[in-house]
Chains A and B, each alone.
Chain A
């Protein structure tokens, strides 16, 4: 018997393990609509701090080489990669 190659291998589908509760509850009942306090003063203060620190961070001056080990693969590519891929692989 040969082991499957990576191209032949199929991941087990999540649906093969159906949780019993899933059959009992309707989807809409399971979706919680927990609400956050939008635009409260504390949240705005936190956001103001983050905006300030983002401005500080963007204004930093790095000597040559200090960015080197976080190379193009991270700053330039990884974030868009994550945004593109994580939703389908996790």
Chain B
């Protein structure tokens, strides 16, 4: 079935784009970047699994962050999100994980430089993690770069701008040193990013790339960007679809991380989704 969002984007049709983005959580604009689909959510059986996952995630989030849901878990009313009503808030399927990761990134960024660090996220989804990060970085002292497919960068631009966050494109990959903006870079231009990066973050997409693509990213990480921390959550143990001609997978233990990076910890991901195959990793450069 053709993707209406991609057709709208590639035909530069403003009205069709507006139609896709204004309900992006329920349209194919978010297909593949939110856990589950709205159609699944509306199905009584599959929806119950998603809702169950959200409820379990809320418990985990409360336990691990000890923060107020009212301050951190409320989804903004952008793009017709769906989820579970928890108190006065709408809790979407991914927001607990997004917020937990944002909390970790913010603490790591503060440990590196109180005056401002630069986080580089490879694959930013609809912008959920950076949105949660910005709830913490109120004075906007840290920079946040997202590398993604152009089509997904446009989703992030719509979502974050609608949320009131200043976002800029760097189509050529050129970013000024010590940026304190959210900057969107097409993945083709990743190798042109030539500034000091403090943290590289990835969630659930390195393990779905071709080996050569992952190798190229880690060449940049290991030899050029040289971040102090690599924080990621990805699939390990085994390939979920070993015989699929459509689904590319590489397990996290095969990522070519340079020996200069020492593993600080690895743990099972506490979040629902992925059928239990995701693990969380933190590496530090010595």
Contacts and interface: CB of A to CB of B under 8 A. Distances in A.
B239 A73 contact: no
B51 A22 contact: yes
A73 B22 contact: no
A48 B81 CA distance: 22
B173 to A, nearest CB: 10
B14 A51 contact: yes
B258 interface: no
Contact of B246 (A71, A74, A84): A84
Interface string B176-190: 000000000011101
Given A44-B18, A70-B213, A83-B28, A11 B81 contact: no
B53 to A, nearest CB: 6
A27 B3 CA distance: 29
Given A42-B162, A82-B208, A27 B56 contact: no
Interface in A7-43: 9, 11-12, 14-15, 17-19, 21-22, 27, 29-32, 34-39, 42-43
B175 interface: no
Contacts, number: 190
Interface in B160-200: 161-162, 169, 171, 186-188, 190-191
Interface string B32-71: 1101110011101001110111011001000000000000
B104 interface: no
Interface residues of B, number: 81
A28 B54 CA distance: 15
A2 interface: no
A1 interface: no
Contacts of B81: 32, 34
B77 A35 contact: yes
Given A57-B171, A87-B40, A50 B55 contact: no
A18 B169 contact: no
A86 B59 CA distance: 25
A51 B154 CA distance: 9
Contacts of B204: 90
Contact of A34 (B41, B53, B59, B75): B75
B131 to A, nearest CB: 15
- Chain A residues touching B, range: 35 or more
Contacts of B82: 31-32, 34
A19 B58 CA distance: 10
Contact of B247 (A55, A75, A79, A85): A85
B138 to A, nearest CB: 22
B238 A74 contact: no
8 contacts: A22-B51, A22-B52, A34-B77, A34-B82, A53-B157, A67-B188, A70-B188, A71-B212
Interface of A: 6, 9, 11-12, 14-15, 17-19, 21-22, 27, 29-32, 34-39, 42-44, 46-58, 60, 62, 66-67, 69-71, 73-75, 77-87, 89-90
Identify the 4 closest CB pairs spanning chains A and B, nearest first. A86-B32, A82-B32, A73-B210, A19-B55
Interface of B: 3, 6, 9-10, 12-15, 17-18, 21-23, 28, 31-33, 35-37, 40-42, 44, 47-49, 51-53, 55-56, 59, 75, 77-85, 90, 149-151, 154, 157-158, 161-162, 169, 171, 186-188, 190-191, 204, 208-210, 212-213, 216, 238-242, 244, 246-248, 272-277
